[in-house]
Amino acid sequence: MLHELALERQNLHGHFSRDLAPVLTIEPGDSVRISVPNAGWLLDSGERFSPRDEKLDAGHALAGPIEVRGARAGQMLGVYIDEVRPGPWGVTFGNEHEVRWVLADGVARSGRFVVPMQPFLGVLGMAPPDGDFHTTTPPRLWGGNIDCKELVAGTTLFLPIPVDGARFSAGDPHAAQGDGEVSRTAIECPAQATLTLDVRDEPADWPRARTADAWLTFGFDEDLDEAASIATDAMLRLMRELHGVTHDEALALASVVVDLRVTQTVNEVVGVHAVLRDDALG
């Protein structure tokens, strides 16, 4: 079944908390179409969404929370990204310099510069299991501001579920971004997206994702080396699952065929994702 969350005040929030009431309850396997402003709460028209609470809506504009009936803490939430459709414009900042983009026909244009669009949602996740107020800025074990440019339409993100019902939220659309997101902004744009949420009755230790031709595992930490270590360890566990190898065999093979990429370096907690392509081992 396809549900829709309209671009309305009741469907948006700008912080994470398990105490936020769900705006929609769905069955596992249902799809949800969301409409969200850009990270600065700006609409297709360029106007700022209102009303907003200066404290509670200080973070990214997120649609949700969406409760998934029957989901339990400790299970895995599968987030299939059906579609991400950017609005008509985007913006990127480099300190005080602003680049405005026109988004159309699969590309972003700004003056003499033309960039292919690879739209995705920067924030995909659930609130931490405690009831406190949490900013939307960093990625966490349960998702959040992952900012991974690989999570385009056709990919599935798998997240550990922190609380019963999952209570999933999404937003922060990007029309395109480089690994690292070095200026703190990508091509920030409003967008419409369709996501399908499902539940797997299996444990999940860290987020992982399935793209059209590869597996990704993620690591987040204040230290880049530790984030890389977390992503690598998660990939070694995945390789053991996929290929029936020992830890040491997986480590040797990973050193040959697994790529480590810096997801982002600007969200208080940095991110690294390990990539294992389907054709890497023949």
All structural domains of the chain with their residue ranges: 2-200, 213-277
3-class secondary structure per residue, 23-77: CEEECCCCEEEEEECCCCCECCCCCECCCCCCCCCCCCCEEEEEEECCCCCCCEE
Q: Rounded to the nearest 10 degrees, what angle do helices 224-243 and 247-257 cross at?
A: 110
Please say if the pLDDT value at position 282 is more than 90. Answer: no
Is the distance from CB of 174 to CB of 186 less than 8 angstroms? yes
pLDDT tens per residue across span 111-147: 999 999 999 999 999 999 997 899 999 999 999 999 9
- Which option is the CATH number for 213-277: 3.40.50.300, 3.10.28.20, 3.20.20.30, 3.90.1150.10? 3.10.28.20
- Average pLDDT of the chain is 97
Q: Which residues pair with 102 in a beta bridge?
A: 89, 109
Please say if the pLDDT value at position 202 is more than 90. Answer: no
CATH fold label, 2-200: Jelly Rolls (2.60.120)
Please say if the pLDDT value at position 203 is more than 90. Answer: no
